[in-house]
Each structure stands twice: as structure tokens, then as C-alpha cells.
Amino acid sequence: MPFTLTRHTVDIRVGLFTIKERWEAAELKFPGLRLPPIIPADIIPGNALFSLLCEMSWEDALKHTDAFRVLEFPWQISLYNDWAIKQDFILATKGRTSATISPTVKRMGEGEVFFEEGVIAEHCYINTSAGPVYVSEGAEIMEGSMLRGPIFIGNSSIIKMGATIYGATTIGPQCVVGGEIKNSVFLGYSNKAHEGYLGDSVIGEWCNLGAGTTCSNLRNTATAVKVWRMDKHAFGNAGLKCGVLMGDYSRCSINSSFNTGTVVGVSANIFQPGVLLPKFIPSFSWGPVPDLKYTFEKALTDINNWMNFKNKALSQEQINTLQHIFSNT
């Protein structure tokens, strides 16, 4: 939580793929793969696990714990992202050749860069010293952007002029991002189009971060970050660094300031600029003003307004899910 409030665990994106997409890609790239009837949804497989599953049983392969990761907590999505991008880059590019990269793109480092067809990129900087960079079909990297891998950019996403993006960062499909971003995951269809810092964070789908939005990802005392666990109604230890974990359809106004390890639920409308926000903002919050909640009908209208920008609309299934969350918040 909050990401599994609106999706199954297998549909969480870590690296280039969702967990489900990673298994599907492996079935194509590893013809001898032998899978069990049921695969635990929380296992993020690496290429070594796929190789092992071509040679041995599922039970024996799982004894090699360095060949996969187990996703238990939401902050692990960004924590595992460096490992996942490097694994997925090998899987995704196996047997393929990158599209032509413009000579105006300044490249440095010994790592690889892979462009799918239709990528627009001119007069930007790509450094692969710490890991590869994969850019999907239809994505645009505007001039002056600086990318330091490992980085994944999804279909039709836009990197704004002068953006500074450090690894390990995943920008899912149809996102618009700018400013400074480090070790963060955008699941898809979300925007952080302007200046502001985002680090060690996970942003769900259909979110919008207003201009100047910034998060803290390290405590002033340099001690462990405490993150609200929605399942336990208690704080958990997320390690030394954790930014903001924002559920789907949530938005914040300009100059929003997120505390270290902030958890935001689904469809929260946040507008308290200049104030350090609470570490937990429940689903359908309004403000967040105490005891004031989004009305459900207005929340649906506003979500569809944002989705219309990208020629999408809520399905009946999504509306039913949101109704369930609203009724239980």
C-alpha cells in the first residue's frame, strides 16, 4: 500500500517492466523456461533466476536468493530499481539493435544506451558510467537535459528542457518530468513537469506534482526514516533514505513540501503550499484539512479531467475500485 489499493502486486513497475511483464518477456527470451503453476506475485525475478529455471526446479532455483528480490514494502520499489533496470536492460535488448542516436546527443561512460524507434532526442547529455539508459518508442528528451544512468524512460514520455535525472530512475509511460529527480519510480501517466526535487520516491499513476514541489529523502539527524504502514497502522523502518510514496490519482499544488518518508493515499488533493505536510495523507484527503474529505463525485470528475489530457477515461472497474477505497477510508 498505497500502490496495491488500485492494482495487483504483479502490475507494479520496478525497472523497465511490471512484475507480470518481466515474466512474460522471459518466456520469449528463455525458451527452456520451466515455470510452476502458480508464481508468487511478490517475487521480482532477475536473469539469473530465468537461467536457473531452464535447468532446475522452481524449489531448487529459489534457493539462490541472489537471483531475485522479494517485494514486501512500498519503499523497496525504488530501493530495488538500480538492480532491476540493469537486469531488465539485458532482458529487453537481447537480440535487438538500438535505433540511430543523433550525433548531437553527448554521450559518456562505458555503459549502453538503447533507443527504440521514434525517440526524439537532440542536444542532451547521457552518462552511462553507473548504468545503462533505455528510451522507449515515442519518448522525447528535450535539449539541455542531463541523464545519468541507470534510467528507463517509457513510451511517449517527455523529459523537459534542462531536467537533471540521476539513476536509478524509472519514468513509466506517458509521463512528463522536469527539475531534479534521483532514484525514483513513476509508475505511469504522471507529471512532475517543473522545478523541484524528488528523491528515493515512488509516484503512482495519474498523479500531478505542482511547480516547486520538493520532498525530503533524508532526515536531519541522518537516522532511519519512519514510514507509515497503511496495512499495520503503525510506522515501519525504511532505512536511511525515503522520499514520498504517492498513490494513484493524487495531486499537489505548487510549492508543496513533503516530509521524509511521506505516504499519500489514493486521490488526495493536496494544497497547503509553504507548510511541511503530514507524514501520512489518507486517500481522498482535501487540503489536507482535518475532517474534510473529497466528495466522491467531484473526485471522479477531477480524475477524468486529468485523464482527458492523455485521451483516457476511468473504466467502470476503476470507478468500482475507487468507490471501495472511498467507502473504507
Q: Is residue 158 part of a domain?
A: no
Count how many domains the chain has.
2
Q: Is residue 159 part of a domain?
A: no
Q: What is the pLDDT of residue 275?
A: 82
Identify the domain boundary among 42, 74, 106. 74
Share of the chain above pLDDT 90, in %: 92
Q: What is the pLDDT of residue 233?
A: 87
> What's the distance, Cα to Cα, between the start and end of the chain in Å?
13
Query: What are the two backbone dihedrals, phi and then psi, of residue 148, each rounded to the nearest 5 degrees?
Result: -125, 110
Residues 194 and 329 in one domain: yes
- The answer to whether 240 and 258 are in contact (CB under 8 A) is no
Q: Is residue 312 part of a domain?
A: yes
Q: Is residue 323 part of a domain?
A: yes
pLDDT single digits (tens) 20-52: 999 999 999 998 899 999 999 999 999 999 999
Identify the domain boundary among 33, 57, 74. 74
pLDDT single digits (tens) 120-130: 999 999 999 99
**Residue ranges making up the domain that contains 70:** 3-74
Residue 329 confidence (pLDDT) above 80:
yes
* Pairwise CA distance, residues 186 & 213, whole Å: 15
- The answer to whether 143 and 106 are in contact (CB under 8 A) is no
Q: Is residue 242 part of a domain?
A: yes
Residue 322 confidence (pLDDT) above 90:
yes
Q: Is residue 21 part of a domain?
A: yes
Reported confidence tier of residue 136, pLDDT bands at 50, 70, 90 = very high
Residues 198 and 67 in one domain: no
Average pLDDT over the chain, rounded to an integer: 95
Residue 281 confidence (pLDDT) above 90:
yes
Query: Which residue, among 72, 112, 77, 66, has the nearest Cα to 183 in the 3D structure?
Result: 77
Q: Tell me, yes or no, if the pTM score tops 0.75.
A: yes
Residues 70 and 196 in one domain: no
Residue range 68-86: average pLDDT? 97
pLDDT single digits (tens) 288-316: 888 889 999 999 999 999 999 999 999 99
Q: Is residue 132 part of a domain?
A: no
Residues 69 and 200 in one domain: no
pLDDT single digits (tens) 174-232: 999 999 999 999 999 999 999 999 999 999 999 999 999 999 999 989 999 999 998 88
* Pairwise CA distance, residues 21 & 222, whole Å: 37
Residue 274 confidence (pLDDT) above 80:
no
Q: Is residue 125 part of a domain?
A: no
Residue range 84-113: average pLDDT? 96
Q: What is the pLDDT of residue 242?
A: 95
Identify the domain boundary among 14, 45, 74. 74
- Domain with residue 209: its CATH number is 2.160.10.10
Give Cα separations from 287 to 5, 267, 293, 294 (angstroms): 21, 12, 8, 9
pLDDT single digits (tens) 219-272: 989 999 999 998 888 898 999 999 999 999 999 999 999 999 999 999 999 998
